[in-house]
Each structure stands twice: as structure tokens, then as C-alpha cells.
Chain A
């Protein structure tokens, strides 16, 4: 039995039919065609599907679509306006923090949750915040530097 789901994604209201078995990830990617959120394991073990739910980072594969109503959901598509990049995105571009790019949207979302909660994180705090986001290309170094640089930009330094 499909259910009608009313949800708010990137500030837009949507009403979509979903199977109770569908995860939030399937809702976003298949129904709303917001494919920036990636599917890497469907088990909460890789972080490629990280989105923000009421400001907190969440694996979209570990949440059912039917759980979405009443929450403010933000995906990678919702954090930059037009051609203007969010400072985290810009820093990843500038510091070589993206290679194959598959983990990148999830990393951006985890970093955003971190900087929203803690504007000047230490390197250890950055590494902790993205420990749930596996990256197989970069060895993390340039990502960590990029997030630190973005924090400095946001803080106006």
C-alpha cells in the first residue's frame, strides 16, 4: 500500500506517493529526482547519503520515507544558490578535496552540520565529524584542510 507523503525538502513542500518500504534516500533520488545524495551501501556504513534532518546529519538510507513528514530536510541541492557555492563547497574546490566525487555531497553535508554547530572546530573535531563519511580517493587530508579553511571563511578571518 502506497502512502501519500508530505514533506519539506530544501524549503519546498512536496506531496509524493511512497511505499512504506522506501527509504528517505529512495524518496529523494527516485521520486524527487534529487540525485546529488548518493547511495554507497544502504546500511549506514558509508555516509554518502548524508542529508540534514532538522539540522542534524542523517544517513538517508536509515530513515523511512514515511518518517519524513514534519521535518525540515536539506540535501546537497539545497545549500548553494545558483552558481554561488557554499563556503565548504568552494573550499573543497580550492583545496583539491574532491576526486571521484561520490563521497563529496555527503562530506559537504556533514561538514555543514559541524560548522553550523561549532564554527571553529579543531582538526580532531573535523575528523570526528566526517568519520561517518568514507572516502576512498583522497586519504582525507585535503578534505580536512578544506573544511578548516571553510570555517575560517565563515568566521570572517
Chain B
């Protein structure tokens, strides 16, 4: 592969790429890191939300008078306290826009409730016990409606419709009647039907995926304080302080200049802390009672409709190949369960599942469907693992029909730089072939699977995620002792402060200990989009490279003055400016000498950075207990092209954590809804996140194919390592027991049922 190596690659890196500990590790291991729940403000009031017990009901009226009369109650709020935004209202955020009608509905139900757990009212009181008592005194007059819980039922033409104004988008001519299908997305090229007719072999599968939760350990917490001038400060556990501010301004009807969102430490997010979870309610209650208000969700609330889980799905895939094992057709139908409010277009997950295969004929159709379940939110490469669970199994079935080695099959059909993506544009430089060669050389693939007590199998699956870039801003000031102080816009959810300290240290030729990095609040640094979409490391690096250059330009002209030279003649390296004659001044001397000349502020912003698409391949060995159906993961190896690992342990941490999340969903994590739309496993006992005993050590193989024209060639890291996991496990399970488990999670009971169903009677 020929790539135009970025200039940065040619120099010897001293700090970037080193295995350095996190700069914020000490406060974490000592319990000193501050999350919103840790704030202790004087006169703090405690808020609680009243949530709908119905999955689908009309609200005829709400009477809060008894709650307001309870001793110790400070304020009560309902939907009437927020701006009534019309359907379709949106707010521009960076390069995209956000539907604030949806934000408003999730904040507080208005005419109807669409899921169990949707907020309908809120109380602030002197303590939590009183707030809970007050909730019981609020009378809500509900008219229950039949709930539509099942995805397939919701799509039927005669299904009860949730939203009377939702008409299916993407259908020509536009339908006249409302539907639970919010959109249809089609991606198509060539003629799949003709290809199937001529195929030497086909592979097909129809799978169901249960809704699952991000499972962050810190429940959402917000502390809000509105001062006597009406200025609101909001301390939140959020992936985006700027987007939160925009949403708050719109639904509270406040100017942005009256809101400051302060992002504190985030105790896990994974996409689930982009949306608001009571921030607006806390501001409103604080405004009403004149005291700071804390709203803390309980774990049951987190799971039972207080936050959005990841979408469940029903996916059908059919693939075909010629006798040489060349892929000739991919056909896919993706039905995505958005929950109670319209979701995203399934376009990205559809593309992701097919992107890594060169295939002339393609027909992918995706449906975004509403049901009376919690509205869904993003979760690490949203939709990627669901789609790959189907696609990677279909490919594996095809390999079995062709009697072809699954790695060889992937090598033969792998997308390469320049081959066409599903939407028809050519791939930027990618290293899939390199990854597959690495897999073929690695012991996880070359060592034969040892026999065990129970049947064993090995599975391979690929994963792709596009990621995004959007906007990241940062600035660098220089302390009086010459050390760079960084304020960045993006929230740190993946070790960003450490990686960015490495970048800035590299740019300045200093040690990482000389650099301080923090995330700014929404009033102290330039607008930055949410920390999501595998974009933060790449774009903040780009912003900081620019900011460092800006700061050094300002410093160089000060140095030139001191050294009686011209700025263009002054060289800078490793903390020292040198004039051609040999005169030199260090950064610290320069700052001490020019402290009174005003601040050095190097500014940087990254917008529309070239994409850093993520590709991974996973290999998994399992053993299946035929008595109980339990799957034990014996060995797991994840290969990933990260462009360049700014901090290898952080990259490994992202990969290992991602894989274990994927193993959880693959095997034990799934929401179990009753026919009434109530979640039956709303606890961390019955919603089974893997423990340390449930997973093996995860081996990581990092491959570096730099992205051209991107500082340090960095790719996205955090999302793709969850994408192939369920597919890899499913392929291993199928090869162990000879049958496919068609529903995810592949719980022991489902595995056993599949074995019994697959057995000849």
C-alpha cells in the first residue's frame, strides 16, 4: 500500500506512542476524582422523578397539590414548566442537528407516555426520603392504551400507532397514514436477485437481538444551581457540555448566555450520556426553589426507562458466492427497535456490516421502528454489533457451504484502499489485508484448538466502524514557568487527557509531566461536539497541533525580540529558542521575562478532519456445556488497526473493555420486557454484566496504518472493538455444537434450545 506518510511520521517520537500511565490515574485510585454526586453544596435540595407505570397511556391530568403541601417539599415541576416544542423542532449542533421535540418528550411526558419509566413530574425536597414520599402524593390521571412492545408487531399495517404525526420517511410516494415505521433506508447497487440465481453457494440467517444497556457504573447525576440573576450552572456527567447547553437552552427557553454546563468526571458513558437525563428538570427545580438541586437516578431508574438502552433488532441477511469463493451478492433487511421515540436512520450500521467485503451486488433495507419501550440511545458503534452478529454469521455459513477456510474467504473478498464502500465512494487508505495477514500468522489462529471436556469451537469475525469527525476546539496557554496548560473542549471518556498531554509534550519537545490538560466548561473553551463516534482523540490531536503551533508562533516572536533576531530565524526545540548566532532563551526564562506582556493563547480547532475508519478482526475459542448450554470463552484475541496508538495501554484498555461489553451482550446481557412493556430484569443482578470470572484475558494486537493528512495518522479506536464480538462468539459456538443460535444474547437456555431443536429426533 502506498500512502503519503505525513511529515510527523518521519521524526523520532519521544512521548507519543509511549506506554505512559494516565495523568489522572492517581485521583482515581485514591477516590479523589470528582463526579457530580460528590459535590457538596450548602443547602442542597434533593430531587426525584415520578415515572410512568404504563408503557402507553394518555395523560388526562396531573394534580401535584398534595405533594406541594407536604412538609419539606421545596418545588414541583411537570411538562407545563418546559417550552412546548412542536414536532420536528430541531437545534443545530456543530455539523448536525438534533430533534428537540424528542429531547423534550424524554425530559417530561406531555399528552402521552410512550414507555414505562418516562418522566411525568418531579419534586425537590429537603432530603431524598421526603422527595420519595412526595412522589406518592402526585395524582396522575392516565388513560391506558394498548402497548405495542414487540418489534414485528409494531411494523404490522394494523398496529396501534404511537405517534399520530409520524409518517414513514424514505418511501415514494409519501404514505398518507401514520406508521410506527419512522423511516426506510435503502442502499443498493447491481442486481442481487440475478446474483443469487447464479450463485454456487449462499448463506442466510435471520436473527433477533435483544435490547441491551450501556451499563456504565455511574448512574446519571446532575447538580444544578440557578443564581439570583437567573444564571444556571449545571454540573453533569455528560459526554457533551456544549450540546447539553444547547438542548437545555431550547427546552427551558433560556438564552445560552444564561447557562454554563460543567462536565465533571464521567463514570462510564459509552454513548449513553449524550442525551439529557434530568438536567433540565434540576435547573427548573433550582430556579423554583432558589437552592442548588441534585438529581440522582437510581440503578432501577437507569434500567427501567430512565435512560435509553441500545436498540434491539431483527436482521435477515443472505449472501452468495461463486465457486471460487468470490462474494457476488449481499442482501440485508435491518429492523431496528428505536423504543418510544423515533431513532436514527439505520444507514450507518447497514453500511458497517457490508463495508469490509468487495461485492458487486448489494441490497440493504433498514427500518427505524418505534415501540412502547424506553427510547434508545447510542451505545459504542451504535448498531454495529447487532448487524455484525447477523452478517458475520451469514458469511461463516457461506464459508461452511463452500467448504472454505473463513480467513481465506475474508482475504479473498476483503475491501482494500480504493475499493467501493456500500454507498459507492472509494475507501480511504485501510489496512484490512494487513490485519488478516496478522491473524493468519498469530497463534490464536495457527494453534489447533485443544479438545476439552465439552465441545469446542473457534470463530472469526470482522468489524468495521466509520466514526465521525465533527468539531473539537482547544487552547494552550503558557504558565509563568513556561509549561503548556491545555484546555480542551471534548470531554475525556477514554483517557483523552493523557493522550493529549503526550501530543502537546511532543509538539513542545517537553516531558509529559510538563503539560497540564483539562476539559473546559461550556463557557471557557470553544464549541466542541460530543465525545462520541471515535472522534475525540483524532480531532483533539489535530486541534492541539494547531494550537501548539499558534502558541509557538507567539512565543517565537517574543523570543526573537529578546534574542535580537527575527522570528523566522529563531529555531525552537525541546523548550529552548535559539537565534542563528547561538544566543538562546528557554521557555521558562522567556515567560518569566515577558509575563507582563499578556497571555500567550494558542488556539486550535478541528473541523471536517478526514475520517479515521476503524477495522478489527476478532478470533474467539469457546467451549459449550451440552448439559446446561453455558458458553465459556476460553481465549479471545482482538486485532485492530488504530493508525497510530498515541498511548498503547489506553488503546488496549479500549479494546479489552469493548470486547468484554460485547461478550456480555453476546452471552448474558439482554432486556426482558413483559407484554405490558415493563422490564423484568431491571437490576444488575438479573441484567448480567460480565464479572471478572466470566471472561478470559483479552489479547490485543495493535496494527498501525496511518491516515494520511491527519496529525500522527491517528484512527478512531473506541467503537469498532465491540462490533465483531457477538459474531465471533456465534461462529465459535456454531462450530462447537453444529447449530446456530439465532437470538442474542446467546443465553445458556437459548443455546440448549438450539441444540435440542437442531438434533435429529
Contact = CB atoms under 8 A, between A and B. Distances in A.
A96 B652 contact: yes
B211 to A, nearest CB: 17
Contacts of A101: 24, 27-29, 33, 265, 267
A66 B443 CA distance: 56
Interface stretch (B35-43, B69-77, B250-258, B567-575): B35-43
Contact of A41 (B31, B659, B683): B683
Main secondary structure of the interface of A (DSSP, over half): loop
Contact of A103 (B217, B298, B656): B217
Contact of A139 (B31, B299, B660): B660
12 contacts: A19-B129, A35-B38, A35-B40, A45-B299, A46-B217, A95-B649, A100-B218, A126-B692, A131-B692, A136-B214, A136-B268, A139-B698
Contacts of B28: 98, 101, 104
B395 interface: no
Nearest to A91: B29
A103 B35 CA distance: 12
A4 interface: no
Contacts of B697: 141, 144
Interface size class of A (residues with CB under 8 A): 35 or more
A41 B299 CA distance: 5
B689 A136 contact: yes
Contact of B25 (A98, A126, A132): A98
A100 B493 contact: yes
A44 B493 CA distance: 26
Contacts of B35: 38, 102
A75 B32 CA distance: 12
A122 interface: no
A143 B653 CA distance: 10
Contacts of A94: 21
B423 interface: no
Contacts of B266: 100
Contacts of A130: 691-692
A131 B265 CA distance: 25
A93 interface: yes
Contacts of B218: 38, 40, 100, 102
Interface of A: 19, 21, 29, 33, 35-43, 45-46, 48, 75-77, 80, 85, 88-90, 92-96, 98-105, 108, 126-128, 130-144
A108 B215 CA distance: 21
A37 to B, nearest CB: 7
Nearest to B127: A19
Contact of A42 (B265, B267, B299): B299
Interface in B634-676: 649-650, 652-653, 656-661
B26, B27, B214 interface centre (most CB from chain A within 10 Å): B26
B147 interface: no
Contacts of B31: 35-38, 75-77, 104-105
Contact of B653 (A48, A108, A137, A144): A137
Given A98-B25, A140-B695, A143-B692, A42 B298 contact: yes
B215, B269, B691, B695 interface centre (most CB from chain A within 10 Å): B691
B30 A85 contact: yes
B270 interface: yes
Contacts of A40: 217-219, 267, 299, 684
Contact of B656 (A43, A105, A132, A141): A141
Nearest to A34: B31
A80 B30 contact: yes
Contacts of A144: 692, 697
B693 interface: yes
Contacts of A102: 35, 216-218, 267-268
A93 B21 CA distance: 6
Given A36-B32, A38-B37, A40-B218, 9 more contacts: A38-B267, A40-B219, A40-B267, A41-B683, A95-B649, A128-B692, A139-B660, A140-B656, A141-B656
Given A38-B35, A139-B695, A43 B685 contact: yes
Given A131-B693, A135-B217, A142 B653 contact: yes
A90 B29 CA distance: 8
A141 to B, nearest CB: 5
B33, B129, B652 interface centre (most CB from chain A within 10 Å): B33
B169 interface: no
Given A93-B22, A100-B268, A136 B215 contact: yes
Contacts of A131: 691-693
A141 B654 CA distance: 12
A142 B649 contact: yes
Nearest to A33: B40
A42 B682 CA distance: 13
A142 to B, nearest CB: 6
B713 interface: no
B495 interface: yes
A26 B35 CA distance: 16
Contacts of B659: 139
B660 A89 contact: no
A19 B218 CA distance: 25
A41 to B, nearest CB: 4
Given A39-B37, A139-B657, A127 B692 contact: yes
Interface string B534-574: 00000000000000000000000000000000000000000
Nearest to A89: B29
A19 B652 CA distance: 45
A50 B35 CA distance: 17
A14 to B, nearest CB: 16
B30, B32, B299, B493 interface centre (most CB from chain A within 10 Å): B30
Nearest to B26: A93
B691 A134 contact: yes
Contacts of B493: 100
A117 to B, nearest CB: 17
A88 B33 CA distance: 17
Nearest to B28: A101
A94 B22 CA distance: 8
